[in-house]
Structures are given as C-alpha cells and as structure tokens.
Amino acid sequence: PVPLVIDTDTAQDDCVALLVGLLDPAADLRAVTMVAGNVGFDQQVRNAFLTLNVADRDVPVHLGCRAPLMRPWVSAENVHGDGSGGLRMDQTGLEPEAEHAVDALIRLAAEHPGELSVVAIGPLTNIAMAAAKDPAFVRNVGALYVMGGSNNARGNITAAAEFNFYVDPEAAKAVFAAGFEVTVVPWDPLTLRDAVFGQERLDAISALGTPLSDFFTRVCAPTLEFDRSVGIDGTTHPDSLTAAVLLHPELVLRTGRYHVDVETAGELTRGYSAMSWGVHGLEPNATVVEAVDAEAFHTYLRDLLATPTTPA
C-alpha cells in the first residue's frame, strides 16, 4: 500500500476523499493534516473526526495553518453549509495530535524518503509552509497530488479561479515553483465533465443502505442543492477523484505535461492557474489529469461505500 498523507479542508468531498484514504486497501493513510479552507477550521476538524468515526478507523489528525500565507481566510460555506450535512457526533475520544500539521508532513516525508504521497485537496498553505521550513521536504515527498485550478477554463469562485488556488494563491504559486513531482486534478474541464454524480449515480449509492452510503448522501446534500442552483446536474467529486487517481492510475485516460503557475497580482484573476503547454517554451513542472474513466470512478466509489463498518 502507498504511504499517504491527506491534507484537507474537510467538508463534503474532502470527507469522501478521506474515506478513500481510510478504506481503500491500496492506501496506507499515515495522517490527516488540516488546512484553512471550505468552512470554519474547528468545524473542518469535527468533519474529519466524523469521517474517521463512520469509517471505523483511527488515524492521526494534525492541525495546520488556520489562515492563508498572506491574506484573510475566505470560506465556501455558501456551497458546503457546515460540510457535514448537519451531522453531529457524541464524544468519541478522538483528539488531534499535538504536533503541527506542517511538522507532521515534514517528519512523515523524512521517514519515507521518496515514497510518501501527499494528496492536497485544500488550499496549499501547509504544503508551501513545509517546503519553506524544510527544503528536504520537496525531495522526500515521492508524489504530490493537488486538487486545484482549471485547465485554461472556468473557475468556480470567480470566472478565473478555482477555490483552493484562490484562497491561497501565494502558497499555490510557491508549490509549483518548489520542484515537487506534482500531478494536478483541475476543476474545469475535468471535474465538471468526469466527476459529477447525477441523480442516477446518487440513487445507486443510496440504494446500498450502508452507514457509509448514508453518510455520503448526507454530507453531499448541501452541495447538491448548491450545484443544482448554478446549473450543475449533480454533486462534484474532485477531491475523492484526486485520491483515487493516485491509488488507481488506470482510472486516468489522458494526462498532459504543463508549466503551471498561479496568478497572485491580477485584479480579476487572483488564483488563476496558467497552464502552459509546449508552445510557450516553458519547462513543464506538472502533470495535469485531462480525462478519467468517469464510469469506472463512480463504480469505484460506490464499491468503497458498500464497505461494512461498525461506527460508534
């Protein structure tokens, strides 16, 4: 199994991505690291523990940066609500670790040099901080899978920008300049074409009737409502797709090599991801996922959600 850390702003699809890390036998999830993003930081931590509880797994959770590097935090509560569909959990005895997320990332990468994979599905603040604090971190991380940006296409928080890169553009820019082996799962066109679960797929999941499928339906409900209100015909799953393509590269149908950079100064383009192909003469620094087998991804997640668990 792949030694793995998931760096997350846990709400909705982040919860599903955590389930991938927790339950897929191809993953050896060593830690969950938390970063400011989707919803209030402490609520994100509750959402992560809820997810561990429903999966019946205990993995160290480390608290990370509570704000972007240089800007005030921007949330997406209008999309995610509290990120858990209003679920509450009685005390489970699950507590975060004392070690900061940035230090945990650095330590785990040093313990598995060249082998640790990091799946970063929130703003890139913790990852940029780890690279700045310990340059060996970049070398020690075997693979960095990032959910963020769009491939010269639509944003979701502004016309130009996807949420994760918009919230902390300086961190995203630093990560692409740092020399990581990066794979990017972008918002558009990839997510909007290959990782939207419409009614038929959602019905197939709720028909499973497992604690995990009930959890999925519940946490995805607010986002489903939001997505439908803006004309997207289902819930979007870029974060779980990012974890899934790392563990199962056969899901990927096409990738491209790009030079990726992130706009930090633009008036209308804060967080825009410039993905340049060969014609611009820039050395590629990232692999961008361009197409996946959407049906196989859905089947994969459905099968994962069929896993029997005995949560508290």
**Does the protein bind ligand BDR through residue 7 (CB under 6 A)?**
no
Binding partner at 167 among ligand BDR, Ca ion, none, C-beta below 5 to 8 Å by kind: none
Q: Yes or no: say if 184 and 286 are a contact pair by the CB < 8 Å rule.
A: yes
Nearest to 6, CA basis, from 75, 66, 60, 65: 60
Number of residues that bind ligand BDR (CB under 6 A): 14
Give the three-class secondary structure for 227: helix
Binding partner at 24 among ligand BDR, Ca ion, none, C-beta below 5 to 8 Å by kind: none
Closer to ligand BDR by Cβ: residue 38 or 273? 38
**Least distance in Å: CB of 55 to ligand BDR?**
18
Task: Classify the phi-psi angles of 299: left when phi > 0, otherwise alpha if psi is within -120 to 50, otherwise beta.
Answer: alpha
**Does the protein bind ligand BDR through residue 156 (CB under 6 A)?**
yes
**Does the protein bind ligand BDR through residue 239 (CB under 6 A)?**
yes
Long-range pairs of 42-46 with CB within 8 A, sequence gap ≥ 24: 43/11, 43/82, 43/83, 43/84, 44/8, 44/9, 44/10, 44/11, 44/14, 44/83, 45/10, 45/96, 46/84, 46/89
The residues facing 179 across adjacent strands are none
Q: 33, 53, 151, 164: which one contacts ligand BDR (CB under 6 A)? A: 164
Q: 50, 121, 130, 171: which one contacts Ca ion (CB under 5 A)? A: 121
Nearest to 3, CA basis, from 136, 122, 114: 114
Give Rg (Cα) of the chain. 18
**Does the protein bind ligand BDR through residue 163 (CB under 6 A)?**
yes
Binding partner at 297 among Ca ion, ligand BDR, none, C-beta below 5 to 8 Å by kind: none
Tell me which residues in 59-78 interact with ligand BDR (CB under 6 A): 76
Q: Yes or no: say if 38 and 10 are a contact pair by the CB < 8 Å rule.
A: yes
Closer to Ca ion by Cβ: residue 40 or 284? 40
Closer to ligand BDR by Cβ: residue 140 or 223? 223
**Does the protein bind ligand BDR through residue 14 (CB under 6 A)?**
yes
Positions touching ligand BDR (CB under 6 A) are 13-14, 38, 76, 79, 121, 147, 156, 162-164, 187, 238-239
